[in-house]
Amino acid sequence: MGILAWVVLGLIAGALAKLIYPGNQGGGIIATIGLGILGALVGGYVGQTLLGVGTTAFSLPGIITAVVGAMLLIFIWGLLTRRAA
């Protein structure tokens, strides 16, 4: 149930991260959903294993972790898809 909860939270976290993160990163709704889900999973993994933070998906620390993870992936996505001028 833990991974499924992080996936569901990732849907929300992707939208929130896209709203919070400044600039135009490109990518449509599918990219936002995918980055949100991956960001939530990465953020949840880092928070629970590496940092020792006991977060559950639907708690305030869990939401913050998921949004930060999604923002990190949106930043990386922007770096990878940036066109050289």
> pLDDT tens, 67-77?
888 888 888 88
The Cα–Cα gap between 24 and 43 comes to 22
The Cα–Cα gap between 64 and 67 comes to 5
What's the pTM?
0.73
pLDDT, position 21: 72
The Cα–Cα gap between 63 and 36 comes to 11
pLDDT tens column, 11-45 = 887 777 777 776 666 667 677 778 778 887 787 77
**Domain containing residue 75:** 2-81
The Cα–Cα gap between 39 and 23 comes to 18
- 1 Cβ partners below 8 Å, 6+ apart? none
If one counts the domains in the chain, the total is 1
The token pair that represents 17 in the structure block: 């991260």
Place of tokens 């996505």: 77
pLDDT tens column, 45-67 = 777 777 666 566 677 777 787 78
